[in-house]
Amino acid sequence: MQKQYCHSLFLKGFIEEIEIHKITIPNFISRETNLIEIDELVPSIRQHGLIHPIVVRIKDDHFEIVAGMRRYLAFKKLGWRKILAHIMEIDDRMAFEICLVENIQRKRLNPIEESRAFKSYVSDFGWGGVSDLAFKISKSKSYVCKRLLLLDLPAEILEGVQNYQLNSSVAEEIASVKDKEKQIEVFEQVINKNLTARETRELTKSTANSVYVFKQEDLEDSTNETDMAMIDHKVQRSFDKTISILKLTLYRMGVIIADMENNWMVYEMLMQHKNMINSQIDILIKQKKKLG
């Protein structure tokens, strides 16, 4: 069931070739751009083209990347004008979910990047509880909770995890110790003795002030959020796709109208029709919210 839901996120919208300069980068990107990865991707795209389209959503008069940042940057580096994109009508929450799912499935996030993304979803944005997030990314609640606990570790230990000096499983064992100074002591012993996760667990058991317990309210299901995501899915998709098509029509009309600036009569006529479509989009969005 979890896998099906994750895949269903990608079923909306339609495929279209769009201009690179019309695409912008979102502020919810949860990982740092690896320039080496881009350099490695460029020759592959040059030779074979784009195998999987990027995912974007329409925002005002431009498109915002949801998934496929590396492919987009590779196209920019190649100097190509257009890129194949899966255009979707989605809100901030679903855009974040799709980006997160893709990065997790492709194993592109280090444990700390994952932890920060989870925290953003649960705490910063308040989009749902641990159970909701676990359901969306097809992971267990325990997995999400342990990742969130990593963020309570001292900066020195976080840096060790981020630089792959310390295994995330070992870091999770260290996080079970409540006292920060004792966490550092355990960390130093782990590094000096090259301890495994099991050995670290034994060490933390003998350490005072263990074990940290995740707050119960963070473990509770946000059933309303989960249910809302599944209610009348087919109806929601029909509205989403209609809105996306109309927004794409506005984008195309904008290109046509720009070429008619010297013919003011035609320009004004086309602008009236563009405004009518824009008003229709607003009506559809309101109707969709009522149904939701």
For 182-194, the DSSP string reads HHHHHHHHHHHHT
With a pLDDT cut of 90, the percent of the chain lying above it is 27
pLDDT of the residue at 221: 46
pLDDT (mean) for 224-238: 55
In a domain, 152, yes or no: no
In a domain, 180, yes or no: yes
Same domain? For 41 and 78 the reply is yes
The residue type found at 161 is V
In a domain, 135, yes or no: no
Same domain? For 207 and 238 the reply is no
In a domain, 141, yes or no: no
pLDDT of the residue at 77: 93
Lowest mean pLDDT among 96-105, 112-121, 221-230: 221-230
- pLDDT per residue over 242-274, tens digit each? 887 888 788 788 888 888 888 888 888 898 888
pLDDT of the residue at 274: 85
Same domain? For 240 and 275 the reply is yes
pLDDT value at 14 more than 70: yes
Split at pLDDT 50, 70, 90, the class of 234 is low
Same domain? For 235 and 167 the reply is no
pLDDT of the residue at 58: 87
pLDDT value at 7 more than 80: no
How many domains in the chain? 3
pLDDT (mean) for 85-104: 87
- pLDDT per residue over 145-182, tens digit each? 999 999 999 999 999 998 888 989 999 999 988 888 88
In a domain, 224, yes or no: no
Same domain? For 13 and 46 the reply is yes
In a domain, 265, yes or no: yes
- pLDDT per residue over 45-61, tens digit each? 999 899 889 999 988 77
Q: Is 276 exposed, middle or buried (0-12, 13-18, 19+ CB in 10 A)?
A: exposed
Closest CA to 188 of 214, 207, 216, 209: 207
Q: Which of 148, 179, 211 is the last residue of a domain?
A: 211
Same domain? For 236 and 183 the reply is no
In a domain, 122, yes or no: no
Split at pLDDT 50, 70, 90, the class of 207 is low
Same domain? For 235 and 205 the reply is no
Split at pLDDT 50, 70, 90, the class of 31 is low
Residue 250, helix vs strand vs coil: helix
Q: Which of 176, 211, 246 is the last residue of a domain?
A: 211
pLDDT value at 9 more than 60: no
In a domain, 114, yes or no: no
- Domain span at residue 103 reads 2-109
Same domain? For 19 and 80 the reply is yes
Q: Which of 88, 109, 130 is the last residue of a domain?
A: 109
Same domain? For 94 and 179 the reply is no
Q: Name residues whose C-beta falls within 8 Å of residue 87's C-beta, 6 or more positions apart in sequence.
A: 13, 14, 15, 16, 18, 56, 57, 58, 63, 244, 248
* 221 torsion bin: left (phi>0), alpha (psi -120 to 50), beta (else): beta
Does this model's pTM top 0.75? no
